[in-house]
Amino acid sequence: MNENDIEHLKTAISVAWMAREHGNHPFGAILVDAKNQVLLTAENTVLTERDSTGHAESNLVRFATQRFSSAALAGCTLYTSTEPCAMCAGAIYWSGIGRVVYALSEIDLYEIVGPSPDHLYLPCREVFAHSQRKIEVLGPEPSLDTEARAVHMDFWTKIEE
């Protein structure tokens, strides 16, 4: 992971904070092109849109595929505050995005959230390993562990109250 990757992950974490401030689950994603330009950002909208598929990454993929060709997306990187779930990994695969970089692992997220029947323990690398196209994956990023965890702290206990 390079310095640009770290900076884009920090931006994705900032977008996750915005999602939380807007009353949603604290997840954020950004799309960056091969020239290191941020093309799109997306927040989680599960609660405000009442849509269980409104994850930050799937929202980003929806926006991206409406605006860019699959050839253009192949040269893009999706940066996300937390490792994409299996649903989002599938959306990323079908979009043609060529690279995924995340700050916090799914396993670390589940340690924060605690036990739940909603957890699907399927890392994005495993989803991509069963695909027909190679998608580069980097993460988690240890230098951002504190930042990536902070956006989740005390959020999940408030949801259950």
| Residues that are catalytic | 57
Q: Where are the alpha helices (DSSP H) in the chain?
A: 3-21, 56-67, 70-74, 86-95, 106-113, 124-129, 145-150, 155-160
Sign of the CA dihedral with 102 first, then 1, 75, and 94 last? negative
Antiparallel, parallel or unpaired: β 28-32 and 77-82: antiparallel
Are 52 and 46 in contact by the 8 Å Cβ rule? The answer is: yes
Residue 37 burial by Cβ neighbours in a 10 Å radius (0-12, 13-18, 19+) = exposed
Are 29 and 60 in contact by the 8 Å Cβ rule? The answer is: yes
Residue 154 backbone phi and psi in degrees, to 5:
65, -5
